Every structure is written in structure tokens, then in C-alpha cells.
Structure 1
Amino acid sequence: MAKSQASFMKKQLENNRLKKKKEKAERREERQQNSPGGGLENMMAYVNEFGEISDTPPEKPKH
């Protein structure tokens, strides 16, 4: 009888592990779909000649 209880618990633990893995994959997929994205361009920051941080690239000076 103890053997059947042990195998039942193993199956339950395996099912719980698979359920958690599936939920984690679903959450990851949802995050990827809802992310603003844009990649590197959205993360870029520039420093102007006064040392201020801005999101627009500085204009090149004309010599």
C-alpha cells in the first residue's frame, strides 16, 4: 500500500511541476506581447553640450 501512495505523490509532484512550468511560459508570452518594444532606439540617451540628458541625438556642428 505504501508503494501506491508513493507513486501517487510522485505523479502529483510531476503534475504540479508541469503546471507551474506552463503558467510561467504563459506569463512570459503575455509580457512579450504587452511590452512596448522598440529595442535599442527606445533605450538610447544622449548628453548635450551642457551635460543634460536628452532623448534626441545632438546636431552635428557645422565647421
Structure 2
Amino acid sequence: MADSWNKKERVKKKRQLKKEKEEKKLERKEHARNGNDLDAMLAYVDENGNLTSKPPGVVHKIEIKTRIPG
């Protein structure tokens, strides 16, 4: 049984869309920024509440002396 004109057009359009999608995929792959790992995307907050790109070095601990009654 022969394919109708409409079916041929749908198949043709589907192939074209698949081809365009593959081209876009290759283009994104070529222009991808290498080295964009998680560390490059993180932001840290320092003790003053400002955003920085460097992780905090030493954690400041407050020492509290307690006195036990008795």
C-alpha cells in the first residue's frame, strides 16, 4: 500500500526536526565551557555576611566557661 502525501510530509518534517536537534546538540557541546565544575559555581558567606568565592578557612569558635553551682 502506498504512503499518502500527508504521511510523507510528516516523516519528512520529523527527520528535519531530528536533524536540527542533533545540530543544536553538537553546537552546545562544542561551545561548552570546560572546567565548570561545582567549585566554580559555589558562593560562600563569610563571618560578616558577605558573599565570597573562597571557602572559609578556620571556623571561629566561641568558648564559653560555665560555672557549676554547688
- Aligned-residue CA RMSD (Å): 2.4
Pick the structure with greater CA Rg: 2
Greater fraction of residues in helix = 1
Q: Which runs of 4+ in 1 moved over 6 A?
A: none
Counterpart AA for 2:16: K
Corresponding position of 1:35: 32
Residue-pair matches, total:
60
1:10 aligns with 2:7: yes
Which one scores higher on RCO, CA 8 angstroms, separation ≥ 6? 1
Deviation track 1:6-58 (CA, whole Å, cap 9, x = no partner) reads 71221111111111111112112211221214221221111111111111112
- Percent identical residues: 32
CA positional deviation for 1:61: 4.5
> In the aligned structure 2, how far is the partner of 1:60 from the partner of 1:19?
57
